[in-house]
Chains A and B, each alone.
Chain A
């Protein structure tokens, strides 16, 4: 299905421009053209389709739905909704507060917020297109599990005592069962869905196109200029320390899933073990300082530090786990 993009790149690089496949530069250029053309096509088609389907799903409905749910199921649902509900990262604080004041337990809200940057439709598409469905399923399962377990853990240690006082008060009020307003929205017509999908496609495109270029550019550089076998020889054995190291390297790097997935592809092709790659990429996407600075408005330091530690531990464990399961 994706062969056409490989052919396009080969034709441009080797036939039109006349480079030889042995040159590092040509390999990098080939990778760059193949991946950018593939990614942009996938994005345009799929974001529209997904937008059309999920036009009626929004954070307010999810909140109303989660508010009445059984606690244990809540974590799983929270994490699952986190992966499919669209919202801009600049809305994460209002979303956090909206959930909290509806009386939803902190752990379930956090399951939602942890999963949200890790999994989204763009990430899933890119993974499936670049690394195949098996890896994609694995990635989704791991992402949701981290959300669920992270949420469970935060509730188990009573992390809500570390919320900022006004948030804690709102949570208490919500759990006391004071009525929160429920949104009544009417079903959407096909026309409205089309409008939403169209707008969604253009907004996401504007937001991610530069990440695609940066991500694929880095991936291409790795591909063409890091000597063959270097990564494999130095890090290919899945040495235990390489996983925490990858997580640490990922923290100051801040990117969204769109930018990091092409790099992921390149790392895996170059022989970096799958666990190390996952650890690095999840850390880049989900553990970022700008996000934590924002969260400071609603959480006190102990909670922020705990959350950070939970994430880093989770990514490290994921890395080790997948490095030691050799069949993947």
Chain B
């Protein structure tokens, strides 16, 4: 099972990113876990300065923008 984390203070772009992941997961019918990380302290621990960012199984895979749809699809491959 893939574990995603969305890092960000809860701004609109972070919401969008979370929704994109949920959407793609349910389209594929795969099991996943999605955690929203909003505490600055926790975001800092990932060394991320630009939000929204996405973490997959402990690795930062994207930061600083809302990714393209294709990018999100690749995370599930």
Residues of chain A having any CB pair with chain B under 8 Å: 58-60, 63, 87-88, 90-91, 93-95, 97-98, 101, 166, 170, 180-181, 199, 294, 297-298
Q: Give the distance in Å from the alpha carbon of A88 to the alpha carbon of B65 in the complex.
A: 9
Most buried by A among B8, B11, B47: B47
Would you list 24 pairs from A and B whose C-beta atoms are within 8 A, ordered by A residue? A58-B50, A58-B64, A59-B50, A87-B50, A88-B13, A90-B8, A90-B14, A90-B51, A91-B49, A91-B50, A91-B51, A91-B64, A94-B43, A94-B49, A94-B50, A95-B49, A95-B50, A97-B44, A98-B44, A98-B47, A180-B47, A199-B65, A297-B40, A298-B40
Q: Give the distance in Å from the alpha carbon of A95 to the alpha carbon of B63 in the complex.
A: 12
Number of residue pairs A-B, CB distance < 8 angstroms? 51
A-facing mask of B42-66, CB < 8 A → 1, else 0? 0110011111000000000000110
Main secondary structure of the interface of A (DSSP, over half): helix
Q: Give the distance in Å from the alpha carbon of A59 to the alpha carbon of B51 in the complex.
A: 11
Main secondary structure of the interface of B (DSSP, over half): loop
Q: What's the interface size class on B, roughly?
A: 10 to 19
Known pairs A58-B64, A90-B11, A93-B9; A166 contacts B41 (CB<8 A): yes
Q: Which residues of A contact B11 (CB under 8 A)?
A: 88, 90
Known pairs A60-B50, A63-B49, A87-B50; A94 contacts B13 (CB<8 A): no
Q: Which residues of B contact A97 (CB under 8 A)?
A: 40, 43-44, 49
